[in-house]
Chain A
Amino acid sequence: MDTEEKQGMSAREAAVKMLLAVCKDKQFSHVVKSSYLDKVGEKRERALATRLFEGCLERMIEIDYILNLFSKTPVKKMKPVIAAILRMTVYQLRFMNKIPAGAACNEAVKLTKKYGFAGLSGFVNGVARNVARAEEIPYPDREKNETEYLSVRYSMPSMIVEQMTEQYGTEISEAMMAAFLNTKNEISVRCMMHTTSVDKLKKCLAEADITVEDGWYSEQALRISGMDAPERLPLFAEGAFYIQDESSMQAVLAAGLTGGERVLDLCAAPGGKTIMSADVLAEFGNGTVDARDLTGAKVELIKENMKRCRLNNVSVCQADATVFCPEEEEAYDVVLADVPCSGLGILGKKPDIKLFMTAEQENELCVLQKKILKNAARYVKPDGVLIFSTCTWNKEENMGGYKFLKETCGLFPESLEPFVSKKLWSESTKDGYLQMLPGVHETDGFFVARFRKKA
């Protein structure tokens, strides 16, 4: 056994394997990360593997554009392993300043040989060194083809660029795409109000040498930075806080819980909105949450989170939200319908979404969303409240669902202004919906709408 094997996989090899798992086997990036990162021995190597992997996914389109400028064989025609090695190498050469070009190229050649492509090591070396030598890479001409320019500049598939600019105009779209690439190393968390207070939590986090700032849109939110795995903090294990973007908190705030309600969270996993609602209700001492999700694994995940947060007012069970459950007709004061969506609002956190999204998938999602919303509306008591939310900016999904609820489900929209921070008010909040956009707001891309059922 050589020393390398004893210490585990090298960062670059792990990055290549993870890229292959995503690009060739179409696995989800977070799944891939959890199954490969443990095999990397040292902490520093793990951090490098993560950076290389996530960086490549995030910048894939720009990287491929660069590779195609310097390689006679286009990336699409390369063997998957060679493409992964070169992508990783270009990322190091163009997007990381601390790695010497020579080292990046040598490592690429070594890996190529290790994978049994010694015959291609000359090709890999040549392309890598050409990229390393190039001083400036010309972007596509913006005047001639704006979509292509934006697509390469922000590593966003043309289909999404077109959709975005059509819906929001170039200026907002560019701000949004820049925000996706410029994710701050900042995590939004929510204080568990029934067991601790914001001041206490702030103090404890500061004592653990974590940079803490107030939330932007909610008093119960904090922004923490200066650490890569908040899940490893004892405070997290004790359930003093949990990780939730402030945008998603708005969905629960929009419900305007006053204690005593019976709440249904239809698509609950991993449970952020369930936890928040249950915590708010526990503060009153009354009211309960029923959480549902499609798969057993997701249900277990929610249960685990409940236990950690010491919430005893939640019942979790497995159920398909597209199948109507007649026993629960008109049984809930509040129904949270955070429907499955394209996820185009969280590309900063899950960059692989953009690489695989297709128009057909978006259309299928719209159909699925309406199926779920139709059931969700039927579970609401007369005069009860329904909150519809997604983590996308796509108007076809969001406004499609909004119109569907308003026109066909016996619900009417209600102003969000009594419930959400003034900083989030817009022309639409009076009409009962709110579109948060990264680059415009300090959040993920997220949509929230509030409806009341006719009494």
Chain B
Amino acid sequence: MALRKIRTLGDPVLEKVAKPVTEVNEKIKELAYDMLDTMYTANGVGLAAPQIGVLKRIAVIDVSPEGNRPIVLINPVIVSASGSQTGDEGCLSVPGKAGCVTRPNEVTVRALNLKNQEIEVKGTELLARALCHELDHLDGIVYVEKVEGELRDVTLED
């Protein structure tokens, strides 16, 4: 396992549409574990493969306070979304900033797990927000495009 370098805003890779994973193999498994390690080390709640410069449709998420509820999603798609929530969002690729974004309050995502089996993940509130945010990355969308109002500076204490 290894930590990967997180790409930041301005890196063209963040604007590209990622390609579907064609085969869930050992390499993909290793990539997913690297992404989890990288996410936890950076104190993030989600990370998409393009953020470490890999244009593959893989995202990892863990919104638990203790950081022990990882979710790995391969080729994820949103199959349903409802409600809405408006609140602050941040991104490991946009360090030191935050902005207000409106997202659905409940989403259901269908994806593959690391054993190439189809799974469904339902999320509300923070998990719904994280799912939408990470899936946007796979389509080359960074949340700053969706910010309502200004992108603010945030300090570590926030």
A residues near B (Cβ < 8 Å) are 194-195, 258-260, 282-286, 288, 310, 312-315
Given known A312-B40, A313-B68, A315-B68, contact A195–B114 (CB-CB < 8 A) = no
* Chain B residues proximal to chain A, CB less than 8 Å: 1, 29, 32-33, 36, 40, 62, 64, 66-74, 113-115, 117, 119, 121
Bound complex: CA A286 to CA B122 (Å): 13
Q: How far does the Cβ of B46 sit from chain A's closest Cβ, in whole Å?
A: 14
B1 touches A285 (CB 8 A): no
In the complex, which residue of chain B has the Cβ closest to the Cβ of A197?
B26
List the A residue with the shortest CB-CB distance to B26: A197
The complex places the Cα of A314 from the Cα of B62 at a distance, in Å, of: 12
Contact B67 A285 (CB under 8 A): no
Give the chain B neighbours of A285 by CB distance below 8 A.
Answer: 32, 70-74, 113-115
Nearest-Cβ distance from residue A395 to partner chain B, whole angstroms: 38
Which residues of chain B are within 8 angstroms of A194 by Cβ–Cβ distance? 29, 33
Of the A-B pairs whose beta carbons lie under 8 Å apart in the complex, a sample of 12, sorted by A's number, is A194-B29, A259-B113, A260-B119, A283-B115, A284-B115, A285-B71, A285-B72, A285-B113, A286-B72, A288-B69, A313-B68, A315-B64
Contact indicator B68/A283 (Cβ below 8 Å):
no
A312 and B115: CB pair below 8 A? no
Q: Which residues of B contact A258 (CB under 8 A)?
A: 117
Q: Which residues of B contact A313 (CB under 8 A)?
A: 68-70
Q: Which residues of chain A come closer than 8 Å to B74, judged between CB atoms?
A: 285
Bound CA span A111–B81, Å: 80
Cα(A258)–Cα(B113), bound, Å: 10
Least Cβ distance of A399 to chain B in Å?
Answer: 36
Given contacts A314-B68, A315-B66, 8 further A-B contacts (CB under 8 A): A194-B29, A195-B1, A285-B70, A285-B74, A285-B114, A286-B71, A286-B121, A288-B69
Chain A residues whose CB sits within 8 angstroms of the CB of B33 once the complex forms: 194-195
Closest to B39 in A: A312
Residues of the A chain whose Cβ atoms lie less than 8 Å from the Cβ of B40: 312
Contacts of B73 in A (CB 8 A): 285
Given contacts A284-B114, A285-B32, A285-B113, are A259 and B69 in contact (CB under 8 A)? no
Contact of B36 among A259, A312, A314 (CB under 8 A): A312
Residues on the B chain within 8 Å of A283, using CB: 29, 114-115
What's the nearest-Cβ distance from chain B to residue A258, in Å?
A: 8
Task: Establish whether residues B113 and A286, one from each chain, have CB atoms under 8 Å apart when the complex forms.
Answer: yes
What residues of chain A lie closer than 8 Å to B29, measured between beta carbons? 194, 283
The interface residues of chain B lying within 8 Å CB-to-CB of A288 are: 68-70
